[in-house]
Structure 1
Amino acid sequence: MKTKFKSLAIITMGALVLHSCSSDDDGGSAVEAPVITNFEYGEGSSHSTEQVAYKGSDIHLEAEITAEGTVSTIELSIHGHDLEVGEGEVEWDFEQTYSDASYLVINPTFHEHVDIPSNIPSGEYHVTLTVTDELGNSTEVEGHVEILDPITVSGFEMDETVERGSDFHIEFMIGAVNSIHEVLVDVHAHDLEIGEGEVEWDFEGDFSEDFHELTEAEFHEHIDVPATAPAGEYHITFTIEDEDGNIYEFEDHIDVTVPTI
């Protein structure tokens, strides 16, 4: 009889051990991977969520993190996809691992501002946020942000030639998210021969007063060419500066001719 009770006790204990192992195998006590919610990003100065940012400014990023295990690291990556690199521009890839004490907790809120270089290509950039806890569980979220020029010029029109003693017209639209501060036009020639009765001509025009603090404006001006200006090709530089100090510069040419009789 004692032998039967001893055997029954052994069987019962074995069943309990098997049940406990089975619960562990089912992951009943496992810690879930972090959960990332409300991931938003956009123009830094206004904390915009429109997923647009501007060169020379910054992008703000924010997310709520729910983590059963203490957060170990938060990694952020921003990079472009096959963007054409123009003259004076460089490729931009941003990668940073955040391990500040304020993030190494159970349920942190991620909030950072990342500076955007002013000399990178405009276009679509890929954003990845990865959260890893102390047990090695990791979760990532992805998105895209459009990085644009803070100053844009469109609809450019200018005469190709002008007779000296008359004027030529220039017009274009300016867009400046940070408002226009300065609009300059510089006209000059290179190594033109100065004939009898002619005088070397350079023009430097400051049109800022008409456009100061506007975010959108139409530039429409006529520039007089002196009758004594040497004939030939003249180089024109347009410089637009916004209130944040960003500068947009572009160039063109015009031929000054002698009036026909």
Structure 2
Amino acid sequence: MKKTIGLISILMVVLGLAISGCKKEQPDTAAVKPTADNIEIGYANNKRAIRGRDFHLNADVIAGNKITTVIVQILQKADRTYSGNWKFELTWEEFAGVKNTNVHKHFTVPNEAPEGIYDFVFIVNDENGTRLELREELSIIDAANMPVDPLIDRDIFLRNGTMIYYMNTYVEDPLLFKKNDSFTARTQIKQIQGNGVLYTALINRKLKYFPETVDQLDFSKCVIISKVEHSGLSAGSSISTLRNMDGVWGGDTIEIGAGKDAAGNTISGLKAWETGQYDLVILYHNSSYNISVHKSIPISIQYE
């Protein structure tokens, strides 16, 4: 009898340990899951990817405890037909051990990706065993099949009327401007139609502010050199910053030290003129087709 009781006791202890071990392997049901905000899937959050082109992803993530991995998957949908089987996955471990972070990534969607509608899956795994999984539809298209394919065709910089930069070629490097110099930034966007807007702006790098779409523009942080809007353009049209907001030629020039920018905003506060490293940012958004392009070119200003 004593042996039986002892055996039962041992079995109960073993069973208790096994149950305890199983519990430890399971995520804590009370653990807080990661969250994500300010999510942008594609430029201007258009949820579109172009084969062989740069793709933009942004999300502000807060972990329940700490992040282990961030994963992106592009998966074919079961109810769709494609020209071939294809899937895509990226894992970023650089965010491991971080509580709050901005996931801002650029990557290329391969040329071999079949056109179609996909599931775009954004995953954040947490140290506490929980997992955030967001799923959105993503269109993958070929550039040849886009209604518009905006291209920054010409970007030319002049200092006091002399060319110092021409279409990705540094005639002078670095691009240095001094107080009272005139800065001309001429840009052309082609292969467009419908409605849209083009901005060129100067932004001090110390602000660590790098807008990639028009809707990200913060006028308290940037000096606007030009703004050009268009509407009702036919296919294959182009626009240029050679006209200012009133349609007058030459509206793409600003004096280093000017009191106001081309939008009429006072140049003070965060964007006040000073010596330092700047970026000339070109931003175009086509509102008819929700397509954006951007470019950033470094310049230097000596303001003493």
Query: TM-score of the superposition, structure 1-length normalised?
Result: 0.44
Q: Which has the larger radius of gyration?
A: 1
